[in-house]
């Protein structure tokens, strides 16, 4: 980029980082509040956890609209809608004395999920960064993990001191006083030039062949007809169950075994600090070693971490807690960063925003599924071990499906064919 655009792009990236920090940072504390809702509303875990389901389903429908609404109301304005919905989400939840009212607030949270997190942030970032996009996305999406780390720590203190209702009011104020001004004054979208400079016309003509070879001419119909697309959609559903299942229910698991809300929040805060570092580094790993290595690396860390959770299920000393925390934290980019990372390699850049939104929608389906399943299994069996075993197995399936989908994707095949033809011509 030129110097001016580079400065604006960096400012926008910082703004997106803070938005992710607030939106997903506060939403990421949901698991910490489940025991509070159970005690206050006197409902079982399986019914309380449906608030995550309603939030995720709403996020699913909103994310499907990102590609369609982006040209009408812009990704920046969708982020603003997400911030406003976040205010309503926490205000409604803070005053609820009825589980249906809690579900209503969860729908507002789902709008924040769909419009205010990965899909729209990736759409804004993609306008300013093309090369090393995965690196930038990794750093910006690290704001979500860092936000969870800070919010988990603060939430534990606030719940013990002022109660969970007042804590939610603090979250609403954070959206109002920080997220809204950033949406209005910091974020900016790149305007398309009305006229193409003559020098650029020649350059674009020269680059046409390379663009076609990289899959940029794929229509959305071509994408939807590709087996790779549907394999990725299914894998994103599975991906949505992984870190979500760990992060949502491990605090409740610890508290059920005698740990205080403050102590569990401190452990999860440390988990999110490591996750922040892992998220920021993950994009660089993807750019340097390729997406397939990146996918295997993340899933392997999650798999080993969950095996440790199961092996250490009755041991809550620091050593046996820290080992799975470190491993699953390394795998944190599985929480929503995969669609933005693999969309271009699999299907080119022409339909990036729409494909990314659709893959995020599938991810939200996984989010919606995992909470009632693990919560229901816990109510039936009295333990979270069965649910944790389930997501451990799903991590293996998810890894294999994503790697295979990238390998057979149309853009990947087109690039390999172009390289092969180039090598033959050179020979």
Question: What is the rounded CA–CA span in Å between residue 238 and residue 373?
Answer: 13
The confidence score (pLDDT) of residue 204 equals 43
Spatial neighbors of 329 by CB under 8 A, at least 6 apart, are 271, 272, 273, 274, 275, 278
Q: 57 with 103: CB under 8 angstroms?
A: no
The confidence score (pLDDT) of residue 197 equals 46
Pull the structure tokens for residue 316.
């809550």
Burial class of residue 304 (count of CB atoms within 10 Å of its CB; 0-12, 13-18, 19+): middle
Q: Is the pTM of this model over 0.85?
A: no
Domain residue extents for the chain: 3-189+220-414
Instruction: With a cut of 50, list the residues of the chain below it in pLDDT.
Output: 1, 193-215
Question: What is the rounded CA–CA span in Å between residue 152 and residue 271?
Answer: 10
The confidence score (pLDDT) of residue 318 equals 82
Question: What is the rounded CA–CA span in Å between residue 153 and residue 75?
Answer: 31
Pull the structure tokens for residue 196.
């193409």
The confidence score (pLDDT) of residue 47 equals 80
Give the length of the chain. Answer: 427
Torsion of CA 44, 324, 341, 366, to 10 degrees: -20
Please, what's the largest Cα pairwise distance for the chain? 74
What CATH architecture does domain 3-189+220-414 belong to?
Up-down Bundle (1.20)
């Amino acid at each position: 980029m030129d110097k001016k655009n580079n400065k604006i792009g960096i400012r926008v990236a910082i703004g997106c980082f803070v938005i992710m920090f607030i939106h997903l940072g506060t939403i990421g504390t949901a698991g910490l509040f489940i025991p509070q809702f159970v005690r206050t509303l006197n409902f079982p875990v399986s019914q309380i956890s449906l608030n995550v389901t309603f939030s995720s389903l709403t996020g699913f429908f909103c994310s499907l609209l990102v590609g369609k609404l982006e040209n009408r109301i812009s990704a920046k304005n969708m982020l603003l809608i997400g911030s406003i919905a976040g205010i309503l989400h926490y205000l409604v939840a803070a005053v609820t004395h009825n589980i249906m009212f809690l579900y209503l607030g969860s729908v507002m949270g789902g709008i924040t999920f769909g419009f205010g997190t990965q899909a729209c942030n990736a759409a804004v970032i993609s306008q300013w960064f093309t090369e090393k996009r995965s690196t930038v996305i990794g750093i910006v999406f690290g704001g979500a993990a860092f936000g969870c780390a800070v919010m988990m720590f603060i939430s534990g203190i606030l719940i013990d001191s002022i109660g969970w209702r007042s804590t939610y009011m603090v979250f609403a104020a954070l959206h109002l006083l920080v997220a809204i001004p950033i949406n209005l004054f910091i974020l900016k979208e790149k305007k398309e030039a009305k006229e193409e400079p003559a020098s650029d016309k020649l350059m674009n003509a020269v680059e046409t062949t390379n663009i076609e070879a990289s899959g940029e001419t794929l229509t959305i119909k071509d994408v939807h007809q590709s087996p790779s697309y549907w394999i990725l959609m299914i894998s994103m559903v599975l991906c949505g169950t992984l870190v979500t299942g760990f992060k949502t229910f491990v605090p409740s698991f610890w508290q059920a075994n005698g740990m205080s809300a403050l102590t569990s929040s401190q452990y999860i805060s440390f988990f999110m600090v490591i996750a922040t570092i892992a998220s920021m580094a993950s994009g660089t790993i993807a750019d340097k070693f390729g997406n397939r290595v990146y996918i295997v690396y993340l899933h392997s860390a999650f798999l080993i971490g969950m095996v440790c959770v199961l092996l250490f299920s009755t041991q809550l000393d620091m050593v046996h807690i820290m080992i799975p925390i470190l491993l699953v934290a390394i795998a944190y980019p599985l929480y929503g960063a995969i669609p933005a990372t693999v969309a271009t390699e699999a299907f080119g850049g022409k339909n990036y925003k729409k494909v990314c939104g659709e893959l995020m929608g599938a991810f939200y389906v996984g989010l919606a599924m995992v909470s009632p399943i693990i919560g229901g299994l816990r109510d039936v069996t009295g333990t979270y071990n069965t649910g944790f075993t389930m997501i451990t197995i799903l991590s293996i399936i998810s890894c294999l499906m994503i790697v295979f989908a990238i390998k057979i994707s149309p853009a990947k095949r087109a690039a390999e064919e172009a390289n092969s033809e180039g090598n033959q011509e050179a020979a």
